[in-house]
Amino acid sequence: MTENTTHFGFTKIPYEEKVHRVTQVFDSVATRYDLMNDLMSCGIHRLWKRFTIQLSGVRRGQKVLDLAGGTGDLAAKFARLVGKEGQVVLADINAAMLQVGRDRLLNQGILVNYAQVDAESLPFADNSFDIITMAFGLRNVSDKEAAIRSIRRVLKPGGRALILEFSELKIRPLKPLYDLYSFKVLPLLGQLMLKDAESYRYLAESIRMHPNQDTFLEMMQNAGFERCDYHNLSGGIVAVHRGYKL
């Protein structure tokens, strides 16, 4: 891959095209995003997100940025935990996803701030947030290293970043079944539910192209994060990486 290209799933494309293509994917799935997540994971994605929040150690009064926050499930839980003294910013690059999240939280009476942002160049001041989370969004970013550096920049000293993302399955006997599910069942679900098999084919491919656990850990360390670690969930289907800005 050259300096001016990146991957969209398994396809190599010009760097500047990826944002447009990812936008098309999430414009297509926004209104049924959570329903599809429940179907695809049998609801387990909610447990993965709950573990991420527990791992964050969030406290009352803190300031939290939820990147790629989409429909707002993490932001809603953070808002309850930080209380009125704290602040939560729900951020996403995709306007359709952000609108779904805004409408949902307002219907629940949950007040947070909203921002349409690009994770590669966050429009916040240095040292702004105690906690930054990004759940299932980093693999869609064109320049992951730039995003990680940007996240670290806007963290306060002592703050922590948590990246929840699909990763490398570590239970080898299950890999053929996992591949069958990823490349056959997921596109079929997308076709049946949304008449959109291609978005879920991209999902499966983007997971395979994302760095594995140890590679991503090294990327966080190279970006200046310290005390980095990761936790495999569901046999490594997903992993939560955590790093501190000291």
Each domain of the chain, given as residue ranges in start order, spans 23-244
* pLDDT tens figures, 224-235: 999 999 999 999
Euclidean distance between CA atoms 222 and 218, whole angstroms: 6
Does residue 34 have a known ligand-binding role?
A: no
Does position 3 have pLDDT exceeding 80, yes or no? no
Element (DSSP H or E) covering residue 106: helix 95-107
Does residue 79 have a known ligand-binding role?
A: no
Local confidence band at 193 (pLDDT 50, 70, 90 cut-offs): confident
Lowest model confidence (mean pLDDT) among 18-22, 88-92, 134-138, 168-172: 18-22
Average pLDDT, the chain: 93
Over range 51-57, report the average pLDDT: 98
* pLDDT tens figures, 202-224: 989 999 999 999 999 999 999 99
> Would you put residue 210 in left (φ > 0), alpha (ψ -120 to 50) or beta?
beta
Diameter over CA atoms, the chain: 49
Over range 16-21, report the average pLDDT: 80
Euclidean distance between CA atoms 29 and 227, whole angstroms: 36
What pLDDT score does 24 carry?
A: 81
Euclidean distance between CA atoms 36 and 97, whole angstroms: 14
> Residue 1 carries which DSSP code?
-
For Cα atoms 74, 41, 65, give the angle at the middle one, nearest 5 degrees: 15
- The SS3 of residue 135 is strand
The DSSP result for 160-202, as a single string, is: EEEEEEE-----GGGHHHHHHIIIIIHHHHHHHHHS-HHHHHH
Does position 44 have pLDDT exceeding 50, yes or no? yes
Does residue 179 have a known ligand-binding role?
A: no
**Stated pTM of the model:** 0.90
Over range 130-143, report the average pLDDT: 95
HSE, CB side, 13 Å, CA atoms: give it for residue 181: 12
| Beta strand 63-67 pairing with 129-135 | parallel
CB 123 within 8 Å of CB 115: yes
Does residue 119 have a known ligand-binding role?
A: yes
**What residues pair up with 162 in beta bridges, in sequence order?**
133, 242
Does position 2 have pLDDT exceeding 70, yes or no? no
- The SS3 of residue 25 is helix
What pLDDT score does 220 carry?
A: 98
Q: Closest Cα partner for 201 from 209, 210, 190? A: 190
* pLDDT tens figures, 174-192: 999 999 999 999 999 989 8
Report the CATH number of the 23-244 domain: 3.40.50.150
